[in-house]
Each structure stands twice: as structure tokens, then as C-alpha cells.
Homo-oligomer: A and B are copies of this chain.
């Protein structure tokens, strides 16, 4: 299975209409016209009771890897050659299949994209595809699939990381994740805010150590065989004396689990080892962590960590920490010290982005060359003005003020150099006539966000390592207004159009509606 070419992982990882349209372009001799598609999302994830004020870009490097190798293989072409129309004629012509055989890869595509780990916002393109119309069209589905879900999960991970107040966050979602997509989700979670994952294969592929403790079943085995929790803990500590994290809720957390863990931790200490932690996986995690901390403190283990798990997400963690802030002093436990020793295992709610299970990223045609090779902006007018894409060849800049805080993302035309004259006219993308003018002191820096990522069939630079992507995220978050980072009802970050783009769009809309 690992060696046979799998039609599900190659260039046929696409929607059928991409292929029927590509053939139409071929028949119309439009297939090699230079075209541009913008990939962007329209809305931040809204989890119901809480909402994202920013997203974290993820998924680019695996996309580029895929674009480097994906092409129409002999097997793929056979699959297409076997498709039949209703009248039993072949759906794809010999001529088109020959063209695919010779040209059916992404070596003609140029991709600009915002690097992984960067904070991103709606409407500003995360990726811009340029290339021959047929292959640019065929790339659409895979491009969206590679960026939508990972960006969704990196965003969720970043929110959980924010809620965790600096505590370590572990990704544990494999078992209830979207099967093979759980690998992609775990990678995105590591970019977005998780320190580690329990996923062994994925950890190995990105070069981090996988993390885990033990399951209830281990304690159950000892119990069924006539032993008990203490024997199970002893066996585990004996094997992992310097890495010992014990799951204490199989029988009763406070009556049995924590006392047994303390017994074993004392034995470890006597043998010259340092216990690492306990794990709480059920019940009132705030209350139980306070009680566990009391017992551990009293036994002389103030530095032993407390791993929390069980349906955690950003709101659950926020609630637990708020409860600890209020309730811990009542039991003589210092809330800050307790919060400082907490570690969070987060699974299902992270890997499925519970509450907002998709990012609404789209890929829209914004320009295509005419017969003379001049780029013509393309537009689609929808009943819903927010669905009318922004036409033309574009760039995206981020504006920082004197404090170094990002105040807007600005979408301009590719040959614009906004801010040159120390002033910037910004237009709301969807409400005509709404805008503002930024003047010099508020434009301390203008940073272009898109980088050329793929060209001539290859990535333009080596893959960044995980730490680089994480640093991008932390740097961007530090430059974001705290109101935008708020977990509930965040401030709306400004994404604006330059004069030139706003004019281009309203002219095109007028032309079309006027027709």
C-alpha cells in the first residue's frame, strides 16, 4: 500500500469539475492563457459562544511539497480515459489527455503566499496562484484543502495557547480526529500553539518528541490481575523513573490516585529521581487540581506538574483558571503557583475545531489574459456584496503604527507602492464610501505579507522549521492589539483596500450591472 500509487493522494485529489473545465479551456484554446486566482477566507471562525479575531496561517509547506511531485501519471490518465459520458463516448478527448500527459504538472504555476505561522485576516489573499488557466484551475481544490483545515486548526491551537497563560499545551486528538487528516491537524496545532503532540508518526516527521502518560487501562490491568493502582504506578515509575507522569483518576482522584502517586513519588525521590507530574482526566478539573496541589505541596512536591485533560478548549481552560484564581486561596493554595504548574492536554475540540468546524476559504479568478496577453481583471457580482471578490493583480501590506502594533492589512494593486507619500487612503472592502486616511506618524512600517513560494516546479526556499513558524506566530501576536486577541467578542481588525483597488472594483461592478 505504501508503494502502490494511490489515486487518492496524487493530482486526482481534486473535484471533477476542475477537469471538465480544464478540458473546455483546452478545446477553446484558452488553457494556456495566463490567469490569476486568489485564495482568501471571508470570515474568522465563530465558535458560537466565542469568536476568533485573527487566524494563524498553516498548510503551505505540505502544499508546496505536493505541488512539487503531483502530476498526471499514466495511472491517473487511465482513470480519466475510462470515464464515459451518458452516450458512452469518452468524457475526455485523446488530445486533452495528451496535453495533460505533457503539461499536467505545476511547473508552470507561480504561487505567492503568506508564510506559515503568520497571523492572517479575512479577504486579504493567503495565496495567489498565477499560471496557465487549465493548470491553475486544476490546482484550486488541492490548494483550498491544504490551507483551509490547517489554518482552522492552527487558529484554534493559538486560542488555546492564549487561554493557557504560558502553560504547555499538548495535542491529543488523533483518536477522534478526521482519520488521516489528524496528521495535518496535529502539524497545524504544533505551528499554532501546541508544544507537543501524542501522535508518534507525525512527531517524527516534524522532529519533535511525542508526549504521553498512560491510560486507565494500565491501572485496570493491574486491578484485574489482583493488584491495584499503587502496583500499577510503581511499575510505571520503575520503568520511567525520570519521566513519570501518573494518571490519578481511575478509581478516585483525591482518595486514591493522588495519595498513591505521592507514595510512588516519595519512593522515586528516595532513589534519587524527580517525579514529573500527575494527570487529571475527569471531574471538576479546577477543584481537583487545587486539592491535588494541596496534597502534593504538603508532601513536599511543589514542582510536580499537573496535566489536565478531558474536553479542553480555550473556554474550558479559561473557566478552569478563573475558578482557580478565586477558589485556590480558600484552600491555602497560591493560585499563581498552581497555574504555573499546569499543563493542558487538548484533543477532540482542538483537532475538529469544535464549534466552527471549517474555514470558509475560497479560490477566486481575479484576472485572465486576453488574446494579446494583456491581463484583464475578472469579477463576479453576487446578490451578497461581501461575496464579490476583489479583482485584479494584487499585493497585501500590513501597516504598523509607532508602537509597532499592526493596525490594518491593506490590499493594493501589484504595481502600487502605498504610503510613499506618507499618507494612505483606506477603503472598507464592502461598504462603499466608508474609509479613513492614515498619515505619516500612523504608518511607521509597511510590511509586504506575500512571498514568492513556488516557481518553475519547486519551492523557492528550504522549508522553515517548526521553531521558525512558531516564532512568526509569537511575533505577530505580540504586535496585535490585545482587543483583537480577546477570546470573546474580539475587536474587528481592519482589512482595507487602497484607492486604486477600490476604484477598479467599483468600475467593474458598474460596467457589469450597467450591461
Residues of A within 8 A of B (CB): 1-10, 12-21, 23-25, 27-28, 30, 35, 37, 59, 65-66, 69, 79, 83-87, 89, 91, 133, 137, 140-141, 144-146, 148-150, 172, 174-185, 198-205, 209-221, 223-226, 235-236, 238-240, 242-243, 250-251, 276, 282-283, 348, 352-354, 357-361, 363-365, 367-368, 370-371, 376-384, 387, 512
Cα distance, A451 to B13, chains bound together (Å): 33
Specify how many copies of this chain sit in the oligomer.
2
B residues less than 8 Å from A85 (CB atoms): 240, 242-243
> Other CB < 8 Å A-B pairs besides A7-B201, A352-B357, A354-B358, 9 of them?
A2-B2, A14-B201, A17-B215, A19-B200, A25-B221, A79-B200, A145-B176, A145-B177, A250-B380
In whole Å, how far is A432's beta carbon from the nearest beta carbon of chain B? 20
Complex partner residue of A24 from B182, B218, B371, CB under 8 angstroms = B218
Q: Contact between A201 and B370 (Cβ–Cβ < 8 Å)?
A: no
B residues less than 8 Å from A185 (CB atoms): 178-179
Q: Contact between A12 and B148 (Cβ–Cβ < 8 Å)?
A: no
Q: Contact between B199 and A15 (Cβ–Cβ < 8 Å)?
A: yes
In whole Å, how far is A171's beta carbon from the nearest beta carbon of chain B? 10
- With known contacts A17-B214, A19-B200, A214-B20, A174–B141 Cβ distance under 8 A: yes
Query: Most B CB atoms within 10 A — which of A16, A18, A137, A379?
Result: A16
Cα distance, A447 to B78, chains bound together (Å): 44
Q: Contact between A69 and B1 (Cβ–Cβ < 8 Å)?
A: yes
B residues less than 8 Å from A282 (CB atoms): 382-384, 387
Cα distance, A282 to B385, chains bound together (Å): 13
B residues less than 8 Å from A23 (CB atoms): 239
Cα distance, A84 to B209, chains bound together (Å): 9
B residues less than 8 Å from A377 (CB atoms): 224
Complex partner residue of A358 from B14, B352, B363, CB under 8 angstroms = B352
Q: Contact between B149 and A14 (Cβ–Cβ < 8 Å)?
A: no
Complex partner residue of A20 from B172, B240, B242, CB under 8 angstroms = B240
Q: Contact between B148 and A176 (Cβ–Cβ < 8 Å)?
A: yes
Complex partner residue of A145 from B28, B182, B219, CB under 8 angstroms = B182
B residues less than 8 Å from A213 (CB atoms): 17
Cα distance, A361 to B175, chains bound together (Å): 8
Closest to A48 in B: B48
Q: Contact between B141 and A16 (Cβ–Cβ < 8 Å)?
A: no
B residues less than 8 Å from A371 (CB atoms): 225
Complex partner residue of A359 from B19, B133, B176, CB under 8 angstroms = B176
Q: Contact between B179 and A149 (Cβ–Cβ < 8 Å)?
A: yes
Q: Contact between B176 and A179 (Cβ–Cβ < 8 Å)?
A: no
Complex partner residue of A1 from B65, B215, B226, CB under 8 angstroms = B65
B residues less than 8 Å from A15 (CB atoms): 172, 174-175, 198-200, 210, 212
In whole Å, how far is A30's beta carbon from the nearest beta carbon of chain B? 7
Cα distance, A30 to B223, chains bound together (Å): 13
- With known contacts A86-B242, A150-B179, A177-B149, A221–B133 Cβ distance under 8 A: yes
B residues less than 8 Å from A133 (CB atoms): 221
In whole Å, how far is A271's beta carbon from the nearest beta carbon of chain B? 12
B residues less than 8 Å from A201 (CB atoms): 6-10, 12-14
* For the complex of A and B, 6 pairs with smallest distance between CB atoms: A181-B181, A178-B181, A17-B212, A16-B212, A178-B178, A12-B201
Closest to A15 in B: B198
Q: Contact between A239 and B27 (Cβ–Cβ < 8 Å)?
A: yes
Query: Most B CB atoms within 10 A — which of A10, A17, A371?
Result: A17
In whole Å, how far is A15's beta carbon from the nearest beta carbon of chain B? 4
Query: Most B CB atoms within 10 A — which of A59, A150, A209?
Result: A209
- With known contacts A180-B181, A239-B24, A368–B215 Cβ distance under 8 A: no
